[in-house]
Amino acid sequence: MYPRSLEKLIESFRKLPGVGEKTAERYALLICDSDIEDVQEFAQALMDVKEKLTHCHVCGNLCEGDECDICRDRDRNHRQIFVVQSSKDIIAMERAGEYRGVYHVLNGLISSSKGILPEDLNIESLVERAKDAEEVILATSATLDGETTSLYLSRLLAQNYPELLITRIAHGIPSGGLLDYADEITLMHALTDRRKMGG
Amino acid sequence: MYPRSLEKLIESFRKLPGVGEKTAERYALLICDSDIEDVQEFAQALMDVKEKLTHCHVCGNLCEGDECDICRDRDRNHRQIFVVQSSKDIIAMERAGEYRGVYHVLNGLISSSKGILPEDLNIESLVERAKDAEEVILATSATLDGETTSLYLSRLLAQNYPELLITRIAHGIPSGGLLDYADEITLMHALTDRRKMGG
């Protein structure tokens, strides 16, 4: 119905999460009315993200270059590792501003329903890093897959390093809730009230 | 907080209508995980829309090239002009499949609150086209600005062409509703039950 180029743009918008036909149309028609500079910037931003963005080779966080800002920061405690499922959880924690250790991004959760196995996640390098760590804080979401993943990791780490302190953030995150949607107070509670978890 | 390229993409997504911080983040993170081909296609689609898409010089509809498919279609009744505020209203009417005349897109509505004046809209060429028309059907939305615009147009057209039949789609579109959200039956009723409006 629409001209071909507009149809193609609507199709691209429809691939975004939670975007249906009407919303995609609204987005695409706004683009039609936008300044050419804004649209060029948008297109450039899309390409830049694919071209410049990689995963930090230490922690798996999204970054430009080889190592992320947090891993490069020598003022942080590199012997305390906060394990999350996605980069956006790091942003949420950093906004709370309480935590001074480093992170490790799994890039997913072990999930029997989605067929995601431990070897699909960024776990091997976590075991490697944990060798020099004092504490590993498991901060996957309070969902079934999140709990499963934490349990798996706590056992795996305890097997390898009996001396390592393994904790799990706990009190504060509501059951079934997603980490990156929690408010800052809740996150702070979750950090303060973490409990020992050893294998 | 995020790497610069990701921040820029989030910023671009935030300019879309109804998209807040969290939604923009979700969109941008999905792009990070998308295939490079999909993202290239998306960026290309954005640029194509700005480069290829213009307004039909006859009716003001979005099209590629000089004249839109509907204006080029000699099987349609070019003496019956259906006046809408935006191109997406044409799509809604064409989906209903009942109308066989042509269209005229105002690209907006007269609005005192937004400071949009008649001279900002595609009205001059409508008056020009109406010279050869038998009927002009006013189909702006059933909102304050929509009614104002229809009233203005009906008076303007009646002044210029006392013989012209000027109608307004009416029965069926709920008050305050937007044309492109109406279902096909409602649109069909609105077309069938249009009432004479002359100046």
What are chain A's domains? 4-52 (1.10.8.420), 76-168 (3.40.1360.10)
Cβ–Cβ contacts within 10 Å for residue A136, how many? 28
Q: Which of A5, A48, A86 sits opposite B48 (nearest CB)?
A: A5
- Does pLDDT of A184 surpass 70? yes
- The residues near B29 (Cβ < 8 Å, ≥ 6 apart) are A86, A87, A88
Report the alpha-carbon angle A170-A175-A179, nearest 5.
65
- Does pLDDT of B174 surpass 70? no
What confidence score (pLDDT) does residue A93 get? 87
What confidence score (pLDDT) does residue A190 get? 76
B5·A31 Cβ contact <8 A: no
Instruction: Please give the average per-residue pLDDT across B179-183, as a whole number.
Output: 79
pLDDT tens-digit series, residues A128-171: 999 999 999 999 887 789 889 999 999 999 999 999 999 988 65
- Does pLDDT of A172 surpass 70? no
pLDDT tens-digit series, residues A77-106: 999 999 999 988 898 888 888 899 999 999
Beta-sheet pairing, B135-138 with B101-105: unpaired
- What's at B90, amino acid-wise? I
What confidence score (pLDDT) does residue A186 get? 74
**pLDDT range class, residue A122, cuts 50, 70, 90:** very high
What confidence score (pLDDT) does residue A174 get? 67
Q: Which of A4, A16, A31 sits opposite B64 (nearest CB)?
A: A4
B53·A5 Cβ contact <8 A: yes
What confidence score (pLDDT) does residue B172 get? 63
Q: Which of A32, A48, A62 sits opposite B53 (nearest CB)?
A: A32
- The residues near A33 (Cβ < 8 Å, ≥ 6 apart) are none
Q: Note which residues in 91-110 of chain B have CB less than 8 A from chain A.
A: 91, 94-95
Answer yes or no: are the C-beta atoms of A27 and B17 closer than 8 Å.
yes
Cβ–Cβ contacts within 10 Å for residue B148, how many? 15
Closest CA of chain A from B44, distance in Å: 7
Closest CA of chain B from A60, distance in Å: 13
Nearest to A59 by CA among A2, A11, A105: A105
CA dist B105 and B99 (Å) reads 15
Q: Note which residues in 34-53 of chain A have CB less than 8 A from chain B.
A: 34, 36, 38-50, 52-53
Closest CA of chain B from A194, distance in Å: 25
User: Which is more confidently placed, B29 or B144?
Assistant: B29
What confidence score (pLDDT) does residue B177 get? 74
Cβ-defined contacts of A182-188 (< 8 Å, 24+): A182/A92, A184/A95, A184/A96, A184/A97, A187/A92, A187/A93, A187/A96, A187/A98, A188/A96, A188/A98
- Among A36-40, A161-165, B157-161, B193-197, name the one with the lowest average pLDDT: B193-197
What confidence score (pLDDT) does residue B199 get? 64
Beta-sheet pairing, B165-168 with B195-196: antiparallel
What confidence score (pLDDT) does residue B165 get? 93
Q: Note which residues in 148-177 of chain B have CB less than 8 A from chain A.
A: none
What confidence score (pLDDT) does residue A126 get? 94
Instruction: Please give the average per-residue pLDDT across A52-79, as a whole number.
Output: 91
Instruction: Please give the average per-residue pLDDT across B64-84, as a whole number.
Output: 92
What percentage of chain B reaches a pLDDT higher than 90? Answer: 57
- Does pLDDT of B154 surpass 90? yes
Nearest to B117 by CA among B81, B148, B140: B148
- Does pLDDT of B175 surpass 80? no
Cα dihedral A49/A52/A58/A59 (nearest 10): -10
* pTM of the predicted protein model: 0.73
